[in-house]
Structure formats: structure tokens, C-alpha cells
Amino acid sequence: MQAYCVKCRAKREIKNPKTITMKNKRPATQGVCPVCGTKMFRIGKA
């Protein structure tokens, strides 16, 4: 799955993706940028 990296300013493939549920019960995916190591976040089902 791809997400936008704020630090790199580019869409990248998420490294170590984890499916989570936000407080409002919506699904999301959280992971790490493979280039810079910044946290990445994408709302929606995987």
C-alpha cells in the first residue's frame, strides 16, 4: 500500500504496515517511510 510521506514530499510504499482503528471507528494503515524513516499514515481500508 502507498501513502504520502510528508518529509520526502512523495508517495511511497509503506514499510511495516499495520492496520489500526481510529477513535471514530474508521480503519487506517500506519507504517514507516522506507527512505527517511518517518511515520506514514493512510486513512481507509487496506
Could you tell me the end-to-end alpha-carbon distance of the chain, in angstroms, rounded to an integer? 7
DSSP structure class, residue 44: S
pLDDT at position 45 is 82
As a whole number of angstroms, the distance between CA 29 and CA 40 comes to 8
pLDDT tens-digit profile, the chain (46 residues): 999 999 999 999 999 999 999 999 999 999 999 999 999 999 998 6
DSSP for residue 46: -
What pLDDT sits at residue 27?
96
pLDDT for the residue numbered 37: 95
User: What is the predicted pLDDT for the residue at 10?
Assistant: 96
Residue in this structure with the C-alpha cell 510521506, named with its chain if needed:
5
Whole-prediction pTM: 0.82
